[in-house]
Amino acid sequence: MSSSRGYTLIELMVAIASASVLMIGLSGALFVSARALETDEGATLKRSRADQALSRVLSELSEATRIESASATELRFRVPDRDADGVEESLAFTWSGVAGDPLRFESQGRNAVLLRDVTSLDFTSLTRFVAAQDVTIPPPPPWPLIEAYSSVKVESKETELTLPAPLGVQAGELLIASLAIHHDRSDSIASPPGWAVIDLGHEDDKVMLGVWWKLATNAEPDDYTWSWSGSTQAIGVALRISNQYAGNPLTAFSAFNGKSSAPVCSAAGVTLDNSLVLRIGGFHKDKVGTPGETGLADHTDVFMDTANGDVSLGVGHQVQEESGGTSQASFALTGDEVFRTLTIVVAPAGGG
């Protein structure tokens, strides 16, 4: 069994200082290679690359609207929307803490090496600087926000799946868990306490998709376990959503089954402005193209992966700023495959 956590949002609003102040904080934080002070050609090249990396960090931070989290080896922050989906982007600079490992840059689901051979790095100075000027932090958007997710793959035949709780869960937030299971286990599946089923169904006994929800409490466990009869593979994702309606925030859902290389997510009614539309798909076998990419047009990808090539799961979303019905949407697979999909509409805070 393998698991992973998605991006986390620590609910901490930190004023962003001017670029000159950030330069002071970061210039003393970034050090590369043990030979950085030598005067040979290799050292000069390394210093040049370090300068370029520092410039990239400062350039990205100059657009930051808020810091999500900052530690010695990781800095996560928000910047304005870059892909026209109406949602701020979550970016991050990360380092493993192991001398010689690279500094990485995470952006829109992609992870790239920014600088190799980093021997020392400390972002915590950024949390201690004094702002040179007041900065106005814009209010959060009026629609529900996917703050974080966790995922797990059961790649050997098992009778249960344990999902870690998404990082940073706050009381009152919406949690939605989706499981795709190889073969139908709907008659025997047992969900953890407190979770209510949204939809549970299968297609041709080859893939089962189950989706559950709950509102987080002050005492959420570290993980949640689903179990079933008959060993098989499975894959699951748990979403952490904020700024949703405080009561039952689910205003509509619609399921669809079939076999296709472009599995359809059916339309659903949207009764409130600024609703969040989730598209979830469970697929037999592995026809996933690029992991992480759903192929949903005009949507933001959340998750797309497979468990041992036997069953796959995809999640994407879009914001519908005006009420009315959603359109259909389609995942993109590399070949025809049996599927079950679900469209869910989440009401914004103040709705219902």
Crossing angle, helix 41-61 and helix 19-27, to 10 degrees?
A: 140
pTM over 0.75: no
- Average pLDDT score over residue span 1-9: 46
Tell me the pLDDT tens digit for each residue of 296-307: 999 999 999 999
Q: How many whole angstroms separate alpha carbon 126 and alpha carbon 249?
A: 37
* CA 286, chain centre distance (Å): 21
- Integer Cα distance of 7 and 94 in angstroms: 12
Do residues 104 and 93 touch, judged by C-beta distance below 8 A?
yes
Residue 205: CB atoms within 10 A of its CB come to 10
Structure tokens at 252: 């509509």
In tens, the pLDDT along 244-291 reads 999 999 999 999 999 999 999 999 999 999 999 999 999 999 999 899
The first and second tokens of residue 122, run together, are 């400390």
120 and 99 Cβ atoms separated by less than 8 Å:
yes
- Helix (H) / strand (E) element for 65: namely none
pLDDT band at 8 (very low <50, low <70, confident <90, very high): very low
* C-alpha pair distances (Å), 63 with each of 52, 176, 224, 279: 17, 31, 37, 30
Give me the residue spans of the domains in the chain.
17-127, 145-346
pLDDT value at position 13? 35
- Extract the tokens encoding 341: 């999909």
Q: How far apart are CA 123 and CA 120, in angstroms?
A: 10
Contact residues for 268 (Cβ-Cβ < 8 A; gap 6+): 252, 253, 254, 277, 325, 326, 343, 344, 345
Task: Please write the tens of the pLDDT for every residue from 138-194.
Answer: 567 899 999 899 999 999 999 999 999 998 898 999 999 999 999 999 899 999 999
Segment holding 149, helix H or strand E: strand 145-164
CA distances from 241 to 111, 115, 148, 348 (A): 23, 33, 7, 10
